[in-house]
Structure 1
Amino acid sequence: MLKIYLAEDQVMIAQALKTLLELEDDLKVIGTATDGKKALKDIIALKPDIALLDIEMPSLTGLEVATQLKLLAIPVKVIILTTFAREEYFAQAIKAEISGYLLKDSPSDDLIQAIRTVTNGQTVYESRLVKGMFDKSKCPLNKRELQILDVMKEFSNTKQIAQAVFLAEGTVRNYISAILSKTGTSSRLEAVLLAKENRWI
């Protein structure tokens, strides 16, 4: 059973999301908040597996909550769920190393799938945001992801990549999924070509 904390300042939306999530047999909402300060306090105390955070909330924004959780090393996967497709918000979310960033007009099935995906250590970013908001001259990848992407120029086999960077194959697969998600690409080759084009590697 995955424990979920939900922070959303619009009560009707919060109630609808809670109902939607609890229709799934493996998901349970263990707490809710309508402001960021309460959300941060509750998440630290309740230790959910997933925190679904709206961006614009009283006291603290969802991004401020995510940043504090990162600084405190709280082991929770954060998914930002927002109506705001703004480049500055998305950039802050990447910096806070959130696990997911989805728009509220996304299909409900996408949210459920995103929750299960981030639980497995992968990231899920709304493709419209990745493609439409990132200036592709700005690299969205961290140092480890760039290292793996660089090795992908030489090897296409996951086992070979894992051996080259001294990581487990499963860990490498998770990194590759993050690379594809963050760059908005659909294949390893496309990601490598994009990186070369923008001189990230």
Structure 2
Amino acid sequence: MDKQRHQVIIADDHPILLKGLHEFLADLGLEVIGAFYNGKDALDAIVDSQPPLAILDLEMPEMTGLEVAADCKKLGLKTRVILLTLHKELKFYQQAKELNISGYILKEFALNDLRKAIDTVLSGQEFFSEKLFEGLKKEDCLSDHSLTPSELKILRLIADGHSTKEIAEQLFISERTVDKHRSNIISKLNLEKKHNSLLIWAQNNKDNLY
């Protein structure tokens, strides 16, 4: 069996988390050939040994996990990177995808995800925590449709069951303006122009509007 296949470099600026990660990986049969508290030392070790896998904290002193991954990509290294993070924001996930990062795991679910992630990544595939996508649903649900703040406000009021007249009174605008906003929202959400189609959509997606 190829011993190098099981070599890994890890980095996290929290000593207890780093120690726990080291022990967890050892229990899985991986050989941790370097454990570091900052991104720069981790990058230097990755460049020197070029292991098949590096598991890095997203936020670290000197260099973040994303910055380490960016340099690995720039240098053409074959080391696959798994990021451990507390961040569920879309922007971090998008940056990870742009850098061809192989894995993105939320720390709160790391024990459940890490074993599967390592097997998946070492087999040449990608692994992203399912919980990450649950966290993104609220943001994704509306960001793709480019709703304005005014349209989103009106959509929330529709979801709460307010009529056009009530919305106009609350926002101090005319009913005609509300109707125009409703029409724009229907168009952006690609809804059928049927009676109550917007109300039904808003109520079905109410939890994603806040």
TM (norm. structure 1) is: 0.64
Name the CA distance, whole Å, in 2 between partners of 1:33 and 1:68: 17
Name the CA distance, whole Å, in 2 between partners of 1:15 and 1:132: 28
1:49 pairs, out of 47, 52, 55, with 52
Deviations 1:119-146 (A, max 9, x none): 11110011122343263676xxxxxxxx
Matches for 1:80-95 after TM superposition, within 5 Å: 80-95=83-98
Q: CA deviation at 1:97?
A: 0.7
Name the CA distance, whole Å, in 2 between partners of 1:82 and 1:69: 19
Name the CA distance, whole Å, in 2 between partners of 1:6 and 1:104: 14
Q: CA deviation at 1:109?
A: 4.2
The alignment partner of 1:22 has SS state of: helix
Residues 1:75 and 2:78 are matched in the alignment: yes
For the pair shown, which has the larger CA radius of gyration, 1 or 2? 2
Amino acid at match of 1:13: L
2:17 pairs, out of 4, 13, 19, with 13
Shift of the 107–81 alpha-carbon distance from structure 1 to 2, 3 Å rule, reads closer
Q: Aligned residue pairs: how many?
A: 137
Percent identity of equivalent pairs: 38
Shift of the 10–87 alpha-carbon distance from structure 1 to 2, 3 Å rule, reads same
The alignment partner of 2:116 has SS state of: helix
Do the aligned residues in 1 keep the contact of 2:113 with 2:129 (CA within 8 Å)?
Answer: no
Name the CA distance, whole Å, in 2 between partners of 1:23 and 1:76: 21
Kindly report the root-mean-square deviation, in angstroms, between the aligned alpha carbons of the 2 structures.
1.6
TM (norm. structure 2) is: 0.61
Residues 1:125 and 2:128 are matched in the alignment: yes
Deviations 1:145-173 (A, max 9, x none): xxxxxxxxxxxxxxxxxxxxxxxxxxxxx
Amino acid at match of 1:48: P
Moved more, 84-93 or 127-136: 127-136
Do the aligned residues in 1 keep the contact of 2:9 with 2:32 (CA within 8 Å)?
Answer: yes
Name the CA distance, whole Å, in 2 between partners of 1:67 and 1:8: 17
Amino acid at match of 2:40: K
Q: CA deviation at 1:110?
A: 2.0
Residues 1:135 and 2:137 are matched in the alignment: no
